[in-house]
C-alpha cells in the first residue's frame, strides 16, 4: 500500500536549468518482525507494519513519496515560455524483515519468502508508477506553448502539475485495488511456482 503523503512542491525559478529526464531518488528502510507460525507473522505485520494515512491502518509495506518540480522561464517582449522543466520524485520504501526462529517450520519459511518477495514487488511497482508520471509531467511541461506573460505561463505549469499528480494518485489507488482483489490467487500461484522450483532443485529447501 502506498503511503499517500505526496509532498508536491512546485518550485518556480527564473534561471535556466540543465535539461534532463525525471529523476528518481529511492531508499529502503526495514522494520523487524518475529513469529514462528503464519498467524504469528500476520499478527506482527498488523501490529508493527507502517501506518498508511489514506487508510488509517498498518500495512505489510509502504512507499512514501514526494514530487519536486523545478521550472525555468524564457521571457521575450511579447511572450513567456517554459525554457526547461525538471521533476524529481523521492521515495522511501518500507519493508518487513523476519527474524526467523531456529525452530520455524520449513513451510512457514517458504510462505514468508513468497510473501516478502511479493510485498517488495508491490512497493517497487508503486515506485515505477510514480517515476512514469514524473516523466509524463516533465514532458508535458516542456511541451507547453508560450503564453503572453510569465504569470500566465506559471499558472499553466501549476495547472498541468495538478492534473498529472491527480492522475498519478488515481493510478496508484487503482493498482492497490487490483492487487487486493488478486492477492490470494497470486500468492497461491507464487507458492506453487516456488515449490516446483524447490522440487526441481533450483531453489534451496
Task: Look at residue 33 in the predicted model and tell me its pLDDT.
Answer: 93
Residue 42 or residue 20, greater confidence: 42
How would residue 189 be classed by pLDDT, with cut points 50, 70 and 90? confident
The residue extents of the domains of the chain are 2-199
* Residue 105 clears pLDDT 90, i.e. is over it: no
154-179 residue pLDDT tens? 999 999 999 999 999 999 999 999 99
Query: Using CA of residue 180, residue 181, residue 185, residue 186, what is the dihedral sign?
Result: negative
Please tell me the pTM assigned to this model.
0.81
pLDDT at residue 148, rounded to an integer: 95
pLDDT exceeds cutoff 50 at 104 = yes
> Which pLDDT score is estimated for 202?
62
What φ, ψ does residue 67 adopt, rounded to 5°?
-100, 135
Amino acid at each position: 500500500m502506498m503511503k499517500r503523503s505526496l509532498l508536491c512542491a512546485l518550485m518556480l525559478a527564473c534561471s535556466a536549468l540543465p535539461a534532463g529526464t525525471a529523476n528518481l531518488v529511492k531508499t529502503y528502510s526495514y522494520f523487524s518482525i518475529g513469529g514462528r507460525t503464519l498467524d504469528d507473522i500476520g499478527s506482527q505485520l498488523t501490529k508493527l507494519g507502517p501506518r498508511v494515512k489514506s487508510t488509517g491502518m498498518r500495512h505489510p509495506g509502504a512507499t512514501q513519496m514526494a514530487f519536486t518540480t523545478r521550472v525555468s522561464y524564457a521571457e521575450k517582449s511579447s511572450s513567456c515560455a517554459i525554457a526547461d522543466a525538471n521533476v524529481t520524485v523521492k521515495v522511501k520504501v518500507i519493508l518487513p524483515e523476519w527474524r526467523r526462529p531456529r525452530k520455524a517450520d520449513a513451510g512457514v519459511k517458504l510462505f514468508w519468502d513468497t510473501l516478502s518477495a511479493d510485498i517488495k514487488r508491490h512497493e517497487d511497482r508503486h515506485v515505477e508508477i510514480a517515476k512514469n508520471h514524473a516523466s509524463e509531467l516533465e514532458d508535458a511541461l516542456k511541451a507547453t506553448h508560450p503564453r503572453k506573460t510569465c504569470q500566465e505561463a506559471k499558472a499553466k505549469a501549476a495547472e498541468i502539475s495538478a492534473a498529472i499528480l491527480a492522475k498519478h494518485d488515481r493510478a496508484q489507488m487503482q493498482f492497490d485495488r487490483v492487487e487486493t482483489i488478486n492477492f490470494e490467487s497470486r500468492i497461491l500461484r507464487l507458492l506453487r511456482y516456488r515449490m516446483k522450483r524447490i522440487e526441481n532443485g533450483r531453489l534451496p529447501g
